[in-house]
Structures are given as structure tokens and as C-alpha cells.
Amino acid sequence: MNDRATYISTTERVRTWREGPVLHIRFNNPARHNALSVDMWEAIPPLLDSAASDDSVRMVVFSGEGEKAFVSGADISQFEDLRAQKEAVARYELMAEAALMGIHDFEKPTVACIRGYCIGGGVNVAISCDIRIAAEGSVFAIPATRLGLGYRFSALKNLVDLVGPGHAKDIFFTARRLDTAEALRIGLVNRVAPVEGLPKLLDEYVSAITTGAPLTIKAGKRIIREVLKADADIDMDLCRRLILDCFESDDYAEGRRAFMEKRKPVFKGR
């Protein structure tokens, strides 16, 4: 495994940095409220590929530059060039799908740390992550019906899996904006904090996740994905194998020793 990966974004509109076991990926297009341009979509998969093979990375945090937006949607200034023609639409959708499914299928925990506008593609990024935390005053919406564009199956499935079909239809059909109170109530976000308290809330998640047993977290994330499938499609052999991997790991032995010795365990993902 690569434990010396470098994380250099292919565009200045996506910033990256490491804080210990955490890889931060920040959308950096503040002049357009961090609207997602093509180069931003394209930057995500290679960063996640590097993080997937880097044992020293325990989780990835997505955020938006500045105080006004997480992501305000797609950069519509590129629509005429990139979405108006059939070939361009297909290319754009493939790029967006690759980025979003890369986040969704990433085997390590992902957290969306949201402040400000979380609109359209921003919601898609957020719901592709495992956990969403938000600052009070953030705003959520999917305005597809105001633009007349088609919406991909995977994005709507993620939304339905998260909030249920009733809330998903409400959000999608009306294109209305949700405040953080409603987003929290329907399960669109996990936790909400005052703006000044958002870094502390993120630190809480970072501490809890990065000190947990990586193999157990990996197994739990993968099994939860199986749970969401139709019964006939569930890979029970995979689930059993993931569970056995945990019980046969050095980390399980360390967890037992730490419990008996009344100390915090030090897990290494092996």
C-alpha cells in the first residue's frame, strides 16, 4: 500500500491538504460560489484513487472555499458549450458520474462539511458522502426542474435512500429551498452547528473516525451498502468475509488487549 502519496489537484479550483490521517478536498471557485466546473469534476477521481491506496489516510473531508457556499451547483456558464449538444451532454454526465460514484464507492469514511449554499450538484456531492454536517444558515435545493435538465438515476437513488421517496419527491418536484432545520429533520444532514461551532463539530467526527478500527469501519460501510440493495442482490458471502476479516485482524486483538488493560486502543488497519 502507498503511504507516501502526494495529493496535488489537477486544477487550482480544487484545493487539497493533509491534516494527519485526514485528506481535505475543498472546492475552490468562490467567485461562482464554488459552482462545479468540468475541471473540478475531473479532479476528484484521481485524488480518491490515491487516498484509497494510502494506508495513512483514514477519512476524506469535502468542503467549500469561503463563507457563502459549499457548492452552488454546476457552473452554468459552461452549459451552452458542454451540455447543449448530445455528445457534450454525454461527456459531461460521464465526468460528473465518475466523480460522484467515486465519492459514493470510496471505501473509507467521507464527510461533507457544509457552510452556505448546497445546491444541485452540491447536494449530489453531499449525499454521496457518508456523513453530512452543516452550519446554521446553510441552504439546500435541487433546482433541476427550473433548468429542464435530466437527472441521473444514481443521484436520485442516493437521495431516496437517504430521505425516502416522499421527501425526495418534495425536494425534486418543487425545487424549493430547505433550511438547516428542515434538512436535519428529514435526514438530509446528520448534525447542525452554529457557524462558529462547525470546526469543533468536524473535529469531533475526525477524532471519532480516525481512532476507530479501520477494518471495522470499512466492513460496516460496505455491508450498509449491501443492506440497501434488494434482497436478491445482497452479497452475503462478501458480508461474511468482511466480518471474518475483522475478527481475524491484529486490530481485534489490540482492541481486546486495550479493553483488558483499560486503555485506548491503537488501531493500524491490519
- Give residue 195's pLDDT: 97
- Give residue 86's pLDDT: 67
Residue 74 has pLDDT above 70, yes or no: yes
The grid coordinates listed for 110 are 467521507
List, for residues 123-148, the tens digit of each pLDDT value.
999 999 999 999 999 999 999 998 88
Say which amino acid occupies 131: I
Map the chain to HEC letters: CCCCCCCCCCCCCEEEEEECCEEEEEECCHHHCCCECHHHHHHHHHHHHHHHCCCCCCEEEEEECCCCEEECCECHHHHHHHCCCHHHHHHHHHHHHHHHHHHHHCCCCEEEEECCEEECHHHHHHHHCCEEEEECCCEEECCHHHCCCCCCHHHHHHHHHHHCHHHHHHHHHHCCCEEHHHHHHHCCCCEEECHHHHHHHHHHHHHHHHCCCHHHHHHHHHHHHHHCCCHHHCCHHHHHHHHHHHHCCHHHHHHHHHHHCCCCCCCCCC
| Average of per-residue pLDDT across 62-88 | 78
- CB distance 81 to 87 below 8 Å: no
Residue 1 has pLDDT above 50, yes or no: no
- Give residue 5's pLDDT: 64
Strand order in the sheet with 178-179: 69-71, 117-119, 139-141, 178-179
- Give residue 81's pLDDT: 60
Sign of CA dihedral 81, 87, 89, 94: negative
More confident residue, 266 or 28: 28
User: Residue 2 contacts by C-beta under 8 Å, 6 or more apart in sequence?
Assistant: 50, 53, 54, 55
Q: Where are the domains of the chain?
A: 14-210, 214-260
List, for residues 15-30, the tens digit of each pLDDT value.
999 999 999 999 999 9
More confident residue, 192 or 84: 192
- Give residue 251's pLDDT: 83
More confident residue, 23 or 252: 23
Average pLDDT, the chain: 90
What's the whole-model pTM score? 0.90
Tell me which CATH homologous superfamily contains domain 14-210.
Answer: 2-enoyl-CoA Hydratase; Chain A, domain 1 (3.90.226.10)
List, for residues 84-121, the tens digit of each pLDDT value.
566 767 777 888 899 999 999 999 999 999 999 999 99
**How far, in Å, CA of 51 to CA of 10, rounded?**
15
| Average of per-residue pLDDT across 165-181 | 97
**How far, in Å, CA of 175 to CA of 146, rounded?**
7
